[in-house]
Amino acid sequence: MISLKKDALVAQAGQTLLQQLPVDVGKLQKAAKYLEPKRIKQIAIAAVGGSMLLSLLGSIGHERLYQAAVAREMKKQLEPIRKRLDELSEQNEDLIRQNEMLREELAKS
């Protein structure tokens, strides 16, 4: 008699626990189907493949970020050189004009 009461209380406690669970038990049973040995291998392959893909995308993203940072730094370092090159180009053009003017004056005399 005690064991019947005990079994009844255990069953009632189990039902109460199932009602209080936030997860549907049917969903758990469906999820348990995927834990069969043949499915575990497929899940493992998918997980490893996904992990490798994310790692590859992360590496590519990191490389692109690094390249952008290097390009920005190079642009900063080359800016004074570009300014100096522009100044020298202007001076060169002025000297060419002066040279032409002097040649014209020499040709006239």
DSSP-based helix, strand, coil % in the chain, nearest 5: 90, 0, 10
Query: Under DSSP, is residue 1 helix (H, G, I), strand (E, B) or coil?
Result: coil
Cα 75 off chain centre by: 24
Q: Is the pLDDT of residue 36 over 90?
A: no
Model pLDDT, residue 17: 63
How much is the pTM? 0.41
Query: Under DSSP, is residue 44 helix (H, G, I), strand (E, B) or coil?
Result: helix
> What percent of the chain has pLDDT above 70?
79
Q: Which of 97, 100, 93, 98 is nearest to 108 (CA)?
A: 100
